[in-house]
Structure 1
Amino acid sequence: MKTVMTILGARPQFIKAAAVSRALAGVSGLTERIVHTGQHYDENMSDVFFDEMDIPRPTHHLGVGGSSHGAMTGEQLRRIEAILMEERPDWVLVYGDTNSTLAGALAAAKLHIPVAHVEAGLRSFNRRMPEEINRILTDHLSALLFAPSPGAQRQLEREGIAGHHVHVCGDVMADVALHYRKLARRPAWFDTLDVDTSEFMLCTLHRAENTDCPERLHSIFLGLSASGRPIVLPLHPRTRKSMAQQRVRPAPNVRVVDPVGYLEMVWLEMNCLAVVTDSGGVQKEAYFHGKPCVTLREETEWTELVEAGANTLVGADPARIARSLIHPPAMRASAGLYGDGRASQLIARQLELA
């Protein structure tokens, strides 16, 4: 029996784990143990996902979050290393590009425990983003690399990472979207917002490059306001804090609500007119639910979405934001960008065989 130690810490990782953990449980030769670093500390940003999405409860909960990148990553590294030294799993499985991802990969690699990386090969080519550093380092530390697309595989090859340990498996987010569409939950508070379904824009805003820069944060809200569109904004704790510090007051057309659970988020994505976001995961969720996406960044690691016309990059420019919301881009048919919804099963199978 092989033991897979999964490292989770942030909302997108919980969502991806919902699909992969289910696939791992279906393989008789594998058992999974979960370390929750606590990188997301708000209940609606973490714990609720284990309940809603039927993810196995964590074996270890570290409670390490809310500090600087260096302090957070260092403390996570120290705590994960102690767990790995005690339990000695056969594999460490990490997702995406968070500090938890890098800490888990570093701890495992230094102890000569092989690392498997889900979402390998993604690049925004902006090394000012902490996530970009985390992606690059994790890929170069990993023994199994699961690329979501042929483009991601080609990027790994350009960096000298090639061979039988790289697998194009598709995107586990496609698996999740297919599974949870039927379970989507209309938020109880939605009717109090006085907006029509299919006419509102769904916005998420949390990246430090936007929230920690007063000029960008004010510019984004100017663009949202100038669009005149009804916008529903589930507010990330970091963004709420930055808005208070920078005295950003949303216009009346921006309806601010508390963070939502995953099933409520799925309903909002399925029923909105378009999505405006700076989240990597939400860009893909918009695509899987057939909604055009306006991205509040200058670049994206999901380049296929831009090339397919499903995603428009507008940065923090108020005029571009407003224009893209007033006239959302039309979705073009581009099926199969990220596999056929069986990525999780392929990942579990490769871990069984490795």
Structure 2
Amino acid sequence: MTMKKDYKIHLIAAARPNFMKIAPLYHELNKTDWATPIIVHTGQHYDINMSDAFFKDLDLPEPHIHLGVGSGTHAEQTGRVMIEYEKVLVQQQPNLVVVVGDVNSTIAATLAAVKLGIKTAHLEAGLRSFDRTMPEEINRIVTDSIADLLWTPSPDGDENLIREGVPPEKIQRVGNIMIDSLEMMRGKIENAGTWQDMGLSRNVYAVVTLHRPANVDNEDTLRSLVNALIELAAIHPVVFPIHPRTRANLERFKMMEKLQATDGMKCLDPLNYVRFMNLVFNCRLVVTDSGGIQEETTYLGIPCITLRDNTERPVTVIEGTNRLCKVQELRQSIESILNQKGKKKNPPELWDGRTASRIAERIRSYLGEGGHKV
């Protein structure tokens, strides 16, 4: 098959997890003789980890295009990304736009591209929590309904899309791109030495991350969580990198000092990915309400308790090491894990660190055979 040299492929990223998902695909496409990957940073999220060190860890160049959207309401962010990205699309006319995840920039970039007749692909398609009170769920549903290619990480993604009436030829199961990122950075993670720096013992501490509004914005809920973590610290060391939103509420509700004064509790500022994952690699269990860490712990075979009523990653519960848990059940779930021996490792099919290469081949076939040129 004769390929056109220099297909332009936009990789859209808005927040730190997005960059981690596009990094393996950027490197895979960049080493081909037919594609030019172009990193588009919408600027939707800013945090301390969006630094030179973060891009260096991922071996990424600075984003080629900055939209500079900034913070705002859901409508403001979505609208600004559409307005600014449309200008870029008109000027650059890429052959394919790749969006990832479920943030506002995901749906906004997809809408802007589709309305201009530019082909789009959604990486991490088909994930559903079935909870439409979550803004991310709306973003997932709408993005999947209009994108041209839907790259799913697991069988439940395929099934959700089929149930929603998506034509099967649009759906391509490629695996979990976050596992590619983890493997790409494994050497740095293993050498980071975070757990040693903190004086911890391998496999005898818990890592906690909490940031979802349902858990940290309500005073009674947050107090129940704090009390449960204090109980855990009494029997098992706890490391708690505290998200800025969570810290603000802990201080507002006057719980921070009590938490910091608890024996066995290490309260930290947020860590970069490498140092954080070094903690995870060497812990006994994780307590979280995050999405990505449910996948990483499943791949690593580390028990994970997710403080949510639902998850858009059910494969981590069905096949992996994750379990959903209500706040009042936390102590019982922790005790159950601590009484178990060893770790279980059973990563889902195609969670193997080769997702980016599969995607690159799908893109090559799609652009070459489909003639999707602008």
Q: What TM-score do you get using the length of structure 2 for normalisation?
A: 0.87
2:249 corresponding residue in structure 1: 242
Q: Aligned with 1:134: secondary structure? A: helix
Give the residue type in structure 1 aligned to 2:251: A
Q: What amino acid maps onto 1:320 in structure 2?
A: E
Asked if the contact 1:305–1:311 (Cα under 8 Å) also holds between the matched residues in 2, the reply is yes
Q: How does 1:1-354 map to 2 (within 5 A)?
A: 1-44=6-49, 48-184=53-189, 190-191=195-196, 193-228=198-233, 229-249=236-256, 250=259, 252=262, 253-308=264-319, 310-315=321-326, 317=327, 319-328=328-337, 330=340, 331-354=343-366
For the pair shown, the structure with the greater C-alpha radius of gyration is 2
Give the counterpart letter for 1:334 in structure 2: N
CA distance in 2, matches of 1:233, 1:45: 21
Alpha-carbon separation, structure 2, partners of 1:82 and 1:290:
45
- Would the alpha carbon gap of residues 143 and 189 (structure 1) be closer, same or farther in structure 2, given more than 3 Å must change? closer
Tell me the secondary structure at the aligned position of residue 185 of structure 2: helix
Give CA deviations for 1:125-174 in whole Å, capped at 9, x if unaligned.
11111111111111111101101112211111000113322111111122
* Alpha-carbon distance in structure 1 between the residues aligned to 2:240 and 2:350: 27
Deviations 1:318-340 (A, max 9, x none): x3122222332754442434433
- Matched AA of 1:200: Y
Q: What's the % identity of the aligned pairs?
A: 38
Is the 1:186–1:268 Cα contact (8 Å) retained in structure 2?
no
User: Aligned to 2:122, what secondary structure does the other structure show?
Assistant: strand
Q: Is the 8 A contact 1:294 1:311 kept in 2?
A: yes
Distance change >3 Å, CA 132–CA 104, structure 1 → 2: same
- The code of the aligned residue for 2:359 comes to I
The 1:184–1:272 alpha-carbon spacing in structure 2 relative to 1, beyond 3 Å, is same
Instruction: State the SS of the aligned residue for 2:168.
Output: coil
The one-letter amino acid paired with 1:237 is: P
| Counterpart residue identity of residue 273, structure 1 | R
Instruction: Give distance in 1, aligned partners of 2:71 and 2:220.
Output: 23
Contact 1:177 1:289 in 2 (8 A): no
Q: Residue 11 of structure 1 contacts residue 46 of structure 1 at CA under 8 Å; is this kept in 2? A: no
Aligned partners of 1:46, 1:146: CA distance in 2, in Å? 29
Letter of the structure 2 residue corresponding to residue 5 of structure 1: H
| CA shift for structure 1 position 293 | 0.5
RMSD, aligned α-carbons = 2.1
Give the TM-score taking structure 1 as reference length: 0.92
Task: Give the unaligned 5+ runs of structure 2.
Answer: 1-5, 367-374
